[in-house]
Chain A
Amino acid sequence: MFRTTKILPTLCAFTLAWSALATTGVYAAETITLGAAVSFTGKYSTNGMHTKNGYDLAVARINETGGIKVGDNTYELKIIYYDDESTPARGTQLIERLVNQDKVNFILGPYSSGLTKAIAPVTEKYRVPMVEGNGASRALFDQGYRYLFAVLSTSEQYLQSAVDLAAERASAMGKEPSSVRIAGVFENDPFSQDVRAGVLDDAKRHGMKMVIDDKLPPEINDMSTSLTKVRALKPDLLVVSGHAKGAALAIRQVSEMKIDVPMLALTHCDSAQVIDKFGKTAEYALCASQWDRTLSYKDEWFGTAEEYAQLFETTYNYAPPYQAAESTATVLTFVDAFQRAGSIDKEKVRDALATTDRETFYGHIDFDDSGKNIAKPMVLYQVQDGEYKVVAPTKWASSELRHPTPPWAQRQP
């Protein structure tokens, strides 16, 4: 009896004191915990690693430079990671777990549109803000989600400049833009199908005709049937989208089958490392990218885009792909919102996120009502003499587009 009577008040006092401490936050250097379910295994594991590296670099940088000042407190950042195994079902369960059991109030996005699509309803349900940098599908932004913010350009913009370029070239050569014929091969997954939808829209806008519209199943590692059609129909522009697999297959089989197209536009060239792997056969290919280290953006955390790229290289020993850059930008967006909200209340942070309007090394970030970033354009590279050169949009173009691609018979082996 004696012992219980004594322990109970002590416990109560302790609990009270602790909660008082926690709420008023007397201690400096508390932590804000962010949660992320990223693919360490499965088909997205490589890009999942880029994503995680991007997040980690931002957190390390923020904590090194003295944390985040929110109101009167200084916070450090911490991320809880889980492995979503590249499957949507697992992803949703893990977000539930982050929110319910780990009590995380802020979610960083996963890799790929499919997983973001799976997770968004969950974060919406719990009213937990999620900022993501790797889910580009535009279907994410017509659901009326209030707690979803994306720093990257949506997928229909990926190959928009390629279609526009083809139209420009047609007029330059004295032809109607509507005479341009497009062939498309898109992998059968949420991301590439969205790229396809974007290309279809652009084609319609210019009055162009899609002569081939194929969907490549994820298991198939052969594109020769589609390319046979390309040879028969001789389109002016061939667009291929299918993560790294699509890019690698397109470059390889177009060169082996000696398919002549005036313009070949791809996504994910850099993750497929087409220059290293295919050398000269990759020349003239156009590649969509979210970001490039040569662009003139900068911020107070990392300095310029080039400085970010150098820091990334010294930390991880490889050049940052845009997947890593956009992930870093995701964390920075949260940090900016914490500071402006002056609070770590999730509703206030959500409202602060909605009014984000600032520049980062990754580009300008300004969310519209649906949560997508409308301030940052995509860039289009062309492989020229073994290097990626930005050729569109004109504002950042570092060299002239080489067009049309000469036929294989005239190209040096």
Chain B
Amino acid sequence: MNRAPVYEYLLITGIGVAALLIPWLLPNFITQFTFLWVMVVFALTWDLLGGQMGYNSFGNVLFFGIGAYACAVVQRDSGLDYFTALALGLLCAALLSTAVSALLGAGVLGMRGHYFAICTLGLGVAAGEIAGGWEYLGAGSGMVTPQYPGGIGERDLFYYFLSLTITGTGFFTLRRLYQGRFGLAINAIRDDEDKAEAMGLHTTRYKTVAWCVAAFFLALTGGAVGNLIGFIDPRDVAFSGATFGVWMILMAILGGKGTIWGPVLGAAVFHLTQELFWNFLFGWQRVALGALIVLIVVFFPQGILGWVRETWPQRFGQHVDTDRQGGEETR
């Protein structure tokens, strides 16, 4: 039932080849593309909970921030050389973040609806405030990550491929998960949690695992972005609810939540728009962001993929079963 159509393989191959060639085709835009991959991880991991499982988290940026800080602390204190410290830092970031999500998951994921949403919002902001008061993490002054030892071009390439690897691994992991029993289970939770529980599904276990997966990839991204930006501010970089935190949700919805390609598409469209038009709005871009959220949520909640599917249902009806399920639910 879950055989992916041929064109999906073609699409993946196409994107993969393009991704590998970009540093040489468009060398000047390499950092922008690095951030594009980061955005894709943001949207995909948010959609794992918000789209596939029906748990709308406003605080996923928590794991991103934990990752950024954990990685930076290891880099600062381990005394190892740059790459070993970075690798160890990323590992610690992922482990710590997953552990936190597992710990919190048991309590927080028991909440439903509004309560879950606001609780996660609180978690994200509280983490930023605590990091901002904690001397060990540089308190309000933030942390500066170490300088890359090699040359300019090398650093850009390194972080490009690092984030591409994280994004690629994340994408295929999620795709695999959605195709199997796990995907069905979390979709069932989204559709009717009580019934799913009554059918003998260990809903809490599934929910916690889903959150842990999201936390794992977000933490890796956090570690990479902390180094990419070079400066970790508690409220404006690490636990930045007002930018990254909101963008995650917006990108997933824009592309079409509850699908695997929707968030990817949403991230690409959002990031492109931001890079192309944002700067020419001179100060009005955040007003535009607010207006965009309202417009998308009120008039276009099905997202781009959802809209395409509504307009040409026969194109999808034949092939993609799993995706269609998701698409119907978004309405």
Contacts and interface: CB of A to CB of B under 8 A. Distances in A.
A83 B237 contact: no
A302 interface: no
B129 A215 contact: no
A89 interface: yes
B28 A193 contact: no
A93 B152 CA distance: 15
B141 A194 contact: yes
A121 B144 contact: yes
A211 interface: no
Given A83-B285, A96-B31, A100-B28, A117 B142 contact: yes
Contact of A217 (B129, B243, B283): B129
A92 B142 CA distance: 15
A122 B230 CA distance: 8
Interface residues of A, number: 43
A93 B139 contact: no
Interface in A19-47: 40-42, 45
Given A85-B286, A118-B229, A122-B230, A190 B32 contact: no
Nearest to A82: B279
Given A137-B141, A139-B144, A83 B282 contact: yes
A76 interface: no
B29 A125 contact: no
B229 A192 contact: no
B168 interface: no
Contacts of A126: 152
A95 to B, nearest CB: 10
A188 interface: yes
Contacts of A120: 230
Interface string B120-154: 00000000010011000001111010011000100
Contact of B139 (A117, A121, A125, A188): A188
Contacts of B231: 88, 92, 114, 117-118, 121
Interface residues of B, number: 36
A5 interface: no
A141 B178 CA distance: 50
A90 B243 CA distance: 10
Interface in A106-135: 114, 117-118, 120-122, 124-127
B35 A88 contact: no
Contacts of B321: none
A187 B152 contact: no
B240 interface: yes
Tell me which of A94, A96, A218 has the highest count of chain B C-beta atoms within 10 A of its own C-beta.
A96
B247 to A, nearest CB: 11
A121 B282 contact: no
A41 B282 CA distance: 8
Contacts of B133: 188, 215, 217
B155 interface: yes
Interface in B210-233: 225, 228-231, 233
A93 B283 CA distance: 17
Contacts of B132: 188, 215, 217
A85 to B, nearest CB: 7
A310 interface: no
A93 B235 contact: no
B145 to A, nearest CB: 8
B236 interface: yes
Nearest to A80: B279
Contact of A93 (B28, B32, B233, B240): B32
A87 B236 contact: yes
B140 A187 contact: yes
Given A92-B229, A92-B230, A41 B139 contact: no
Nearest to A219: B129
Contacts of B129: 217, 219
Interface string A266-293: 0000000000000000000000000000
A114 B233 contact: yes
Interface in B137-191: 139-142, 144, 147-148, 152, 155
B155 A125 contact: yes
A87 B243 contact: yes
B274 to A, nearest CB: 9
Contacts of A87: 236-237, 240, 243
Contacts of A4: none
26 contacts: A41-B284, A41-B285, A82-B279, A83-B283, A88-B233, A88-B236, A89-B240, A89-B244, A90-B243, A100-B28, A100-B29, A100-B30, A101-B28, A114-B231, A114-B236, A117-B142, A118-B230, A118-B231, A121-B230, A121-B231, A122-B230, A143-B144, A188-B139, A189-B141, A190-B142, A215-B132
Given A100-B28, A215-B133, 19 more contacts: A40-B283, A41-B284, A85-B285, A86-B236, A87-B236, A89-B225, A89-B236, A93-B32, A96-B32, A118-B231, A122-B230, A124-B147, A139-B141, A188-B132, A188-B139, A189-B140, A193-B141, A217-B132, A217-B133
